[in-house]
Structure 1
């Protein structure tokens, strides 16, 4: 049986981006893929707009509400309506669990809906992974609005300050891989894993509503001898921030900043400890928000730092 890649997209009030992403995926040079779109929007109107788009494109698709899935190997695109929005990890897990139930699924590509892919981006991921089966892979992410520059090739986690940074951010797109440091995790905008990875590591942790779920996945993967890496020839263009309520060249939205700080604390508590480094670095981050005049956010971050987080 041919091993297909199941591409998981999460839609949350982003129909125009989702539509553009799907259209780019339909130009992939590989035929061995299926697209699974999970709609996290709490709106029947958004769901109907997704299906209207599918009909307008004459897509070979099927749609159903969460929990009513069956075996749909003949459809190129599957739309799943989530019963409620429980975050990035939960939404992607709905798609992953459906995909894992399909006998032809060998790979899984988690892709932000605010991305556009090159036709060979999937082929390059599969090719690289076949040579390095122990990896959890990312792509080279380029700015959609500035495609000659890298948004990131992955992330780095500073264990002294407990802060994440993007590797390669702002560099020219042709910067050689050997000139960049190794990544600690691929960005959630493009993550590629095998069935073997999920069999050993499991699904994304739903303890994280937004942010740090990919870093948590990699930490658990490392425990199972998997290695974070990225494929230099898999190119994805990312409209950074649109899927979480932020926008290109603008501050993150208040909501996403709140989730970032909550998830950071949960991650540090899980893998390290809420020690002096945590409180010191948290206060530095809070001071930076005060410097930018974001006083309401700084106050909420203080509450998160010194109180329990659910």
Structure 2
């Protein structure tokens, strides 16, 4: 059984969004960096997995299916009930599609592949990439060059898809007083970089696109899965210990944002699942990292519910209160069947 991996593993978690994944994979196919593999986790069930495979694999598509199973990565087992091994039609880069046994959440989907990677040799870094992103052709090269400088967690120039001249953030900063997560450098012009002082305030790189080295993962551990979605990236960054955060200015990544869960910028358009997880996880995170000050965060959360009510979104206010309550009670992971989350019209 083969066990050596390419130097870089690109990990993508999808949820019933094959068009996003197709666009993301197409951008990766144009990369100047040669030595990488792609691992996709589909969290949306068997039908979604079949739709994803159909969108990516056929004579007219970008991937060719491979029948050989000479690698432990090509067999189902663990948290994957099915694995399809492919490669790009125009280059010898492997792309594996894995069907998760359940909706594992974002951290769980990443960890399902990381657990296999940790048992193999060769790879030096992992790029965690949202499916609704597109990377510039030099992006992977720039990330790996920064990793060679000794940085353990690295971000790039993450830009708005609709306004690619503006930066979404350099990284994320969490306030232990209010619990607010600040997108550092938001709306800065492309071509700018954070100063050393600004970089020192960043707690984590956004999980939309973050490269971490093998040493980082072996020292810090896997992503936290109890959040299910949101806050796992900041948690990972705050656990980094001796590993430095770096910024690769010339690594350009376009990001749409919120295509799978509906986390719109306008709070009146935000999906109820996004509202619930944002509220619940803010408390779970605060209880882990803020000590007794988590009660202050609860107060800010209640004000957030009042804000929803004030702007004419009473159901979002109600869902916020449910999320805060569940956070106080320590409920974590995938929202249970007892949590009734109506979908926005």
Corresponding residue to 2:164 among 122, 128, 147: 147
Question: Hey, what's the Cα distance between the residues in 1 that align with 2:103 and 2:76?
Answer: 13
Conserved 8 A contact 1:61-1:75? no
Shift of 1:64: 5.3
Question: Corresponding residue for 1:156?
Answer: 173
Question: Corresponding residue for 2:95?
Answer: 77
**Against the structure 1 CA distance between its residues 97 and 237, is the aligned structure 2 distance closer, same or farther, given a 3 Å change threshold?**
same
User: Is 1:204 paired with 2:223?
Assistant: yes
User: Is 1:106 paired with 2:124?
Assistant: yes
User: Is 1:125 paired with 2:143?
Assistant: yes
Gaps of 5+ in 2: 67-73, 332-345
Conserved 8 A contact 2:192-2:249? no
User: Is 1:33 paired with 2:50?
Assistant: no
> SS of 1:166's equivalent?
strand
Question: Hey, what's the Cα distance between the residues in 2 that align with 1:293 and 1:249?
Answer: 12
Alignment length, in residue pairs? 305
Deviates more, 1:45-54 or 1:259-268: 45-54
Question: Corresponding residue for 2:301?
Answer: 282
Question: Hey, what's the Cα distance between the residues in 2 that align with 1:104 and 1:59?
Answer: 24
Computed over aligned residues only, the root mean square deviation of the Cα atoms, in angstroms, reads 2.5
Taking the TM superposition and a 5 Å limit, the aligned residue runs for 1:80-95 are 80-95=98-113
Question: Corresponding residue for 1:308?
Answer: 329
Gaps of 5+ in 1: none
**Against the structure 1 CA distance between its residues 17 and 247, is the aligned structure 2 distance closer, same or farther, given a 3 Å change threshold?**
farther
Question: Hey, what's the Cα distance between the residues in 2 that align with 1:283 and 1:5?
Answer: 43
Shift of 1:75: 5.8
Question: Corresponding residue for 1:257?
Answer: 275
**Against the structure 1 CA distance between its residues 283 and 20, is the aligned structure 2 distance closer, same or farther, given a 3 Å change threshold?**
same
Conserved 8 A contact 2:185-2:194? no
Question: Hey, what's the Cα distance between the residues in 2 that align with 1:181 and 1:122?
Answer: 24
Corresponding residue to 2:246 among 224, 229, 243: 229
Shift of 1:298: 1.5
> SS of 1:103's equivalent?
coil
User: Is 1:19 paired with 2:37?
Assistant: no
Shift of 1:124: 0.3
**Against the structure 1 CA distance between its residues 76 and 3, is the aligned structure 2 distance closer, same or farther, given a 3 Å change threshold?**
closer
